[in-house]
Amino acid sequence: MDSPQVTAVHANAAHSFSKTPAKEVVLAAGLGVVGDAHFGARVQHRSRVVVDPSQPNLRQVHLIHSELHDELRSGGHVVRPGDLGENITTRGLKLLELPTGTVLRLGDSALVAITGLRNPCKQIDEFQSGLLRGVLDKGADGTVVRKAGVMGVVVAGGTVRPGDAIELTLPPGRPIPLEPV
């Protein structure tokens, strides 16, 4: 594959760990994936709602690179697109290396601004024993490397389908590394 693309899309109206594969998802500006439990301008993740329901939803869209699924499968885990709760699965794009504020154009018109890293939690091990170790690593300097994808907000709405091209626009100025959101 020469250029980055969407390989799968998912949504789930229920607050469950995995998401259901779909033929397409519709993104709404400032809100997220229509029909998904995390849709909204304010935080929707249950653990964060308990802390402060008025905080902005920086986790409207969850993206994972399919190369992570390949890596986990090579380590003996059975992981399919959507299993780890992502809305959009990509291939050919190093999501984890993008700076904060990178804007991804998905398909014809959808724009998603990357806000940060997904912070993997114990639910991953509840989904499949030992999987949390597969989505965490240590950098050369000893820092924790989170590999469970990135989170973003919808800047411009549109329909996203498997096979759609992905274009990226880096933010101006000095790159700001991704941090967990």
Q: What is the structure's pLDDT at 144?
A: 93
* pLDDT single digits (tens) 104-150: 999 999 999 999 999 998 889 999 999 999 999 999 999 999 999 99
- Structure token digits, residue 88: 């959009």
Q: What is the structure's pLDDT at 62?
A: 98
Handedness of CA 55, 100, 13, 133 (dihedral sign): negative
Assign 3-class secondary structure to 23-55.
Answer: CCEEEECCCEECCCCCCCCECCCHHHHHHCCCC
pLDDT at 1 over 60: no
- Give the residue among 55, 67, 69, 83 at the shortest CA–CA distance from 181: 55
Pairing verdict, β 88-91 and 5-11 = antiparallel
Which own/partner pairs from 46-52 qualify as long-range (CB within 8 Å, at least 24 positions apart)? Answer: 46/15
The region of weakest confidence among 9-13, 61-65, 135-139, 155-159 is 135-139
**CA dist 70 to 61, 156, 181, Å?**
21, 30, 25
Which 8-state DSSP code applies to residue 18?
Answer: S
Domains plus CATH for the chain? 5-169 (2.40.33.20)
* pLDDT single digits (tens) 74-87: 999 999 999 999 99
Q: How far apart are CA 34 and CA 21, in angstroms?
A: 14
* pLDDT single digits (tens) 29-70: 999 999 999 999 999 988 888 889 899 999 999 999 999 999
Global pTM reads 0.96
3-state secondary structure of 109: coil
